[in-house]
Structure 1
């Protein structure tokens, strides 16, 4: 009897369908967490073991056991240095069940050990770790038993390790910290304390499995358009058996269900499964569109057993670094789905000196700070660590691009074979861990190593022959090893050898990225930000310090400490000439503050003024300049620093100014050669009709001149729409008594507002304002403050002593006679009576 081939195919499809629908026995790997298994710790050679937390650090364990004071308080840092100079032991006992022991492979896994650690199980050495940035694992099937297993982790301190390694180096390098693969900032930075940590800093667990397991899933995007995305899953399978299995790659949302039979061999198997997504929803960065994510799942099935499953969230997008030659060099910008992206963001540092203190809420807060300031990119700086998966998950979800440094910063590094192999494994692990995240835009070799060697005369530390060897080691690491890893494991992304390509002191605007530290380090005035020769293609670092607000200072000081000259305030200023530099800039533009609290306030207003000037200059230079990332977003402890958000998540004046300067629509007025020039800057993808309003008034609100112009806001660019000599605007009026209100309107809606002054703040003839305020309760955790003044209020700062929360606006200029409504959302707690609240405000005149 003849059977139609179509019938055979249909019956086979039905067979496969029924087989896939039949409940599968769960034979996926078992995970047995050891995080909560009653860990204890002690100093080496001590018999007094105390409770410990894992993940954690020795500093926090000592603090939790009341053996040390709060590390960030006053100048306790100085008294706690002994901790990082000692060796420590962590241990625990655990049991497993008999069924667990029946697995073919039983692996002890440490996702992070800090840093030089020897691991023993039941007295047997199983791991010798020497890299903070790597995961460590060992098969313990031959050593583990049913009950009373003893797991010990012995940490050797990094101080001694660095000294020994440096002494053994044929050409000793000038920084000890480079010899340990450990976050550089642990050894102190010009914004961070010296806390040389040790401990089990990421989860520890036992993974038991039989047969086969999925060890990696990489989703490669071969071709992407709005009509079709052609993808492939590159799946790594570790097998202890030879067997035929079914590999299923699926995405429910996209109706993808690709299945293929795979013949596994013992060892590592690499399988490729191609699939398409029709009319995909593309992933966009913040401000350009929705950052849509797809979940791709891979399952490994043998007969009626689910052997393993792995899932990845991806964003379907085309992202590339564009470096096209032009008359001045070459461009340097990111292009997402065919759209040039002006990168607006900041440099991000670790949130704590002790990573175990950081939880998911902290990550959500810091990412929200970036979003609230209209950012679309963060740079993960090379002196910290490769961040937690959750950080990148949030960046994926919110559309924040990530400039990812490898973990090398501000020094030269060893070139010995063992060191380089350690780095290679570190790079491979982290590239593979992070490569599926659509947020990761670029891999960068290091922070400032190239510029340090080329321009900061680091070679003076060495003889001519040794200098050649050290540079050769640099090239092996940053021009060979790391790009080879990126090309092999994440080839679609760009690799950039070092940030920056250019520093200050010579023209920086031909190509590549720039760290412009003429302001602050060279102590040049803020006006250098405006000079064309100081605006590069991509401004990846620049900044200025300020102090955190008084509530933050109160948290780490006693009243007697609240002076710039106190030992405590000096301990929380890590730049060697930090306060003198702030002083110098204050005297340029402001009257000297009358007291410490006024100094704190003026430092923030000063910082905001300078960085706002820089950001607007960079955006006005679009599309020549296509990125601006100021230093820095956050702090790792309470400190005077370049951050825009302090350690306690309180916005400085700078963060409010950044939010406005990073808006998708920006009107920016600047004085050039005695002429007022007005620019319209847009990150929108469509042209828009707008109305430009210019109004000159005195500080009492008397209107002197005004002009309204219909303008076209051109998509994704900057346009100079008005040039007018100052004399034609102010005529015979005193410039110290004037403000030019520059506003961009969409109908009755203000899309951007940016007042311009003709003199420095110290020269403005301000009067003491009579501010009228009214507080109303919108909800138990949100207030509204209505404000009005008949005269100009310069840089008004609002605060509630008894409440902690976030203002919708702060440190802004109140123009005469206008009404302002500011919202305040409480971080914690609720209020039920507005009459009990006391609103405090300070403006520039109050500091004289």
Structure 2
């Protein structure tokens, strides 16, 4: 492949909405890239992520754009020269030397155009015109009739990243551009059109069934060879035929395992194509992993389970939902993904659900997931809307699905395809049926087209029609007793303690909001002063009634904030507590519940949202809470049958044997009652141990708590008998010592009074600063240590004072 990534320019096709100074400008363009990043690099637009700049840039999505470059014909004598476009966003007309060679209208597909006859030896002019995504989508909407959706935007009427049109956590930045590599492929005789390995395990044997499709320039026989783990197979594709299947068996391969269950062993699979004379015409190489995957949905006494088994081991899913990490995908590098995956693994996550309003991610994404042992659930790209099934969408969806299922087949991390996000639920519960008036809404995609594509092209992986989905059209799609469920009443209408009213089979979405890190806010907003409702803060809160819902949560649990610093700390704390409570409750019902997928890991820009890692990549307190709640070994105190119980959960592969001391203490640390429990817990199991009344019932609810401690890294579980706003906390008193260490500073805090959810926010002093721990509760006399890393030493006095060092009772 000869890349065509140099010498590009960009210009607007003039129109009344294009600002003066841009209408007549030709600017340098970066390919791969998009219009927004090119205009930003040229200094022609402000950063759309700052303040309310997003709103002044809406014209970009309503403008037509032309990319153009020149190049010389590659050397050599070839029967075919193809222009290969890995990704065009979205409604594109491609011309070469003034001759139209192709049109596209799907961001999620790759395209190949034969340009042999249009090429000249030198000074070829390649142009790609992108018509406004809005104009295209609105024209189809007007032709087919509107469809209900969660936002007043036409995203269901174009095969494009839906969240470009704005979401309740994302900006409305409707992109256009050559967003994936583009180049010339010179070939003769034949080439590998597709290679689709289906990897299975039976007994001690690993099997690779390699499905190969060839494209031809000549009709003679060609030979395909496949090699993996020292084993080879070969097949001839006779004249006039295009496909073949090669079968390779590997004895006793090392398995690929999810993180926490074993190693991530992969083997190189090499496929080569040879001409009649043995000449090597083409090759294809990927790394594959031998593992089995199945979904157990056999009805039982509790309903319909949703249990993922890898290599015949049931995996309790400790997942997070993944959204595009940037509104402009070409800014998401392999290094950035690797850092984000390290953050996921650091929070003890074992599965990423690629949400259906984003995109099929890059090859780097799935390769890094394979490497890290992070399982991937991949949604097909439909979210929160009724989608038309008429043409051109019917054919586009089928072709898109076939291409992506084929592309992702080699990756062992991919364990589940899902038909859509919330669309079947929406049809049932979101008042869609009357306005649809019988028009198509996507059902045929989720229950016919997509399952057929997966069954035909990759029967090694399960398919699930939607998230949520109960397993049957006869059962409500969001019934917690069947299949997967989404729990959003907590955020929208109810207190987070309502999570305890659910004992679901599998929770595929649940979340709670908080603002991003302080340094992220200060970079993105020019508000002076910052306030929960200051202009920039309000613009970067996209959820309906988001601030009111945040305040409702605070009022139920925490003391009233006195200023913005209080509000920022307490809302972040409340998010962490809400999700920790939910995760611990669901995990405590291991055996009925088989997994949780928190909404959401990441953000695409600086915003108040449900994320654990904010739009600048900083960890919110939720991340630290998730790390504990998702640990292999969890110790938690849970209400049970009118009393309290200690629940121990062991998701590790080794037995867990430890004494657990449970003490009811007052706020000075003085014990009121005490007992010791002996844990002897097998791998992949849990146990519930009821506590006697003298521990579960306080003498003074406002002045007591329960402390359960294990002699291992599972550490400590706490239960307060009253909400923080009702607890008789003393004013916080402590001693703090700061000392330098390699790469940073160590902050040792010793409590003189109880300190509830002690957290250090060093980014308030230096945007580069990070801390290793958060949300630590200390009783009088206890100590903890925070290690802070920053580009330069931080002021020790500021590091140990409000608003940098915080606790609930400070």
TM-score by length of structure 2 reads 0.94
In the alignment, structure 1 residue 738 sits paired with structure 2 residue 704: yes
In the alignment, structure 1 residue 75 sits paired with structure 2 residue 52: yes
What is the Cα deviation at residue 109 of structure 1? 1.1
What is the Cα deviation at residue 591 of structure 1? 1.1
In the alignment, structure 1 residue 448 sits paired with structure 2 residue 422: yes
What is the Cα deviation at residue 366 of structure 1? 1.2
Aligned match of 1:823? 787
Counterpart CA distance in 2 for 1:415 and 1:730 is 59
What is the Cα deviation at residue 193 of structure 1? 1.0
Change (3 A) 1:490 1:502: closer
Map 1:404-553; keep pairs closer than 5 Å: 404-462=378-436, 466-467=437-438, 469-470=439-440, 474-501=442-469, 508-521=479-492, 523-531=493-501, 534-553=502-521
Work out whether residues 519 and 767 of structure 2, in 8 Å CA contact, stay in contact via their aligned partners in 1.
no
Counterpart CA distance in 2 for 1:65 and 1:331 is 54
Map 1:575-614; keep pairs closer than 5 Å: 575-614=543-582
What whole-Å deviation, never above 9, does each CA across 1:593-621 have from its counterpart, x for those lacking one?
00012101100111111111110111011
In the alignment, structure 1 residue 65 sits paired with structure 2 residue 42: yes
Correspondent of 2:621 among 642, 649, 653: 653
Counterpart CA distance in 2 for 1:354 and 1:391 is 16
Larger Rg: 1
Change (3 A) 1:536 1:248: same
Correspondent of 1:778 among 725, 729, 741: 741
What whole-Å deviation, never above 9, does each CA across 1:288-340 have from its counterpart, x for those lacking one?
11121111111223446322221121110010111112123221110011110
Q: Name the SS of the counterpart of 1:579 in structure 2.
A: helix
Aligned match of 1:367? 341
Correspondent of 2:523 among 525, 532, 555: 555
In the alignment, structure 1 residue 811 sits paired with structure 2 residue 782: no
Aligned match of 1:385? 359
Counterpart CA distance in 2 for 1:691 and 1:359 is 46
What whole-Å deviation, never above 9, does each CA across 1:692-730 have from its counterpart, x for those lacking one?
1213322222233332222112321221023322x4455
Work out whether residues 321 and 332 of structure 1, in 8 Å CA contact, stay in contact via their aligned partners in 2.
yes
Correspondent of 1:280 among 244, 253, 256: 253
Work out whether residues 39 and 54 of structure 1, in 8 Å CA contact, stay in contact via their aligned partners in 2.
no
Paired residues, number: 792
What is the Cα deviation at residue 236 of structure 1? 2.3
Counterpart CA distance in 2 for 1:660 and 1:98 is 59
Q: Name the SS of the counterpart of 2:84 in structure 1.
A: strand
Aligned match of 1:6? none
Counterpart CA distance in 2 for 1:274 and 1:543 is 45
Work out whether residues 519 and 525 of structure 1, in 8 Å CA contact, stay in contact via their aligned partners in 2.
yes
Counterpart CA distance in 2 for 1:122 and 1:606 is 60
Work out whether residues 561 and 569 of structure 1, in 8 Å CA contact, stay in contact via their aligned partners in 2.
no
What is the Cα deviation at residue 502 of structure 1? 6.0
Correspondent of 1:129 among 95, 101, 104: 104
Counterpart CA distance in 1 for 2:391 and 2:164 is 25
In the alignment, structure 1 residue 212 sits paired with structure 2 residue 182: no
554-563 or 568-577, which deviates more = 554-563
What is the Cα deviation at residue 773 of structure 1? 2.5
What is the Cα deviation at residue 834 of structure 1? 8.6
Correspondent of 1:190 among 152, 168, 177: 168
Counterpart CA distance in 1 for 2:605 and 2:292 is 38
Aligned match of 2:330? 356
Work out whether residues 478 and 486 of structure 2, in 8 Å CA contact, stay in contact via their aligned partners in 1.
no
Change (3 A) 1:578 1:172: closer
Aligned match of 1:247? 224
Work out whether residues 118 and 128 of structure 1, in 8 Å CA contact, stay in contact via their aligned partners in 2.
yes
Correspondent of 1:223 among 198, 201, 210: 201
Counterpart CA distance in 1 for 2:419 and 2:739 is 52
Aligned match of 2:288? 314
Aligned match of 2:11? 41
38-47 or 570-579, which deviates more = 38-47
Work out whether residues 166 and 173 of structure 1, in 8 Å CA contact, stay in contact via their aligned partners in 2.
no
What is the Cα deviation at residue 376 of structure 1? 0.7
Mark the runs of 5 or more structure 2 residues left unpaired by the alignment. 16-22
Counterpart CA distance in 1 for 2:514 and 2:146 is 39
Correspondent of 1:105 among 69, 80, 87: 80
What whole-Å deviation, never above 9, does each CA across 1:439-476 have from its counterpart, x for those lacking one?
111111111110111112211314xxx32x32xx5332
